[in-house]
Amino acid sequence: AQSVTQLDSQVPVFEEAPVELRCNYSSSVSVYLFWYVQYPNQGLQLLLKYLSGSTLVKGINGFEAEFNKSQTSFHLRKPSVHISDTAEYFCAVTGTSGTYKYIFGTGTRLKVLA
């Protein structure tokens, strides 16, 4: 079984400052990792995903994430945030063995302040 922990329920940050949203996972099998963003009153949109290879993954809107197997983490970062980045961010995992299920973390609300 897998689980995902997003310890920070809310992260306030000033515009143009860097931000890191934390995600830790637990799994007895190999996993694929995802970050999704959800803007108000919308569905989820993929930011980036890690399947294999380079542990630094670049996504849309200037976001990147680093897979750390030893720390079972997949933290999301952006060097300079904009007001428009205000949204809910979900980390998710799925097993590599053909499962249909995606396990989501509880989400982190990023609030960018002017």
Partner 1 sequence: DTEVTQTPKHLVMGMTNKKSLKCEQHMGHRAMYWYKQKAKKPPELMFVYSYEKLSINESVPSRFSPECPNSSLLNLHLHALQPEDSALYLCASRPLTSGGGETQYFGPGTRLLVL
Q: Are 31 and 93 in contact (CB under 8 A)?
A: yes
Site string for partner 1, 5-44 (x = CB under 8 A): ---------------------------x-x-x----xxxx
Size of the site for partner 1 (CB under 8 A): 26
Tell me how far, at minimum, the Cβ of 105 lies from partner 1, in Å: 6
Q: Are 21 and 75 in contact (CB under 8 A)?
A: yes
The H or E element spanning position 1 is: none
Does 101 participate in binding partner 1 (rule CB under 8 A)? yes
List binders of partner 1 among 49-78 (CB under 8 A): 49, 51
Applying CB under 8 A, among 12, 29, 96, 113 the residue interacting with partner 1 is 96
Does 94 participate in binding partner 1 (rule CB under 8 A)? yes
- Residue 106 CA to residue 6 CA, distance in Å, equals 6
- Residue 26 CA to residue 11 CA, distance in Å, equals 23
Does 89 participate in binding partner 1 (rule CB under 8 A)? no
Show the tokens assigned to 69. Answer: 């197997």
Does 86 participate in binding partner 1 (rule CB under 8 A)? no
Q: Are 79 and 70 in contact (CB under 8 A)?
A: no
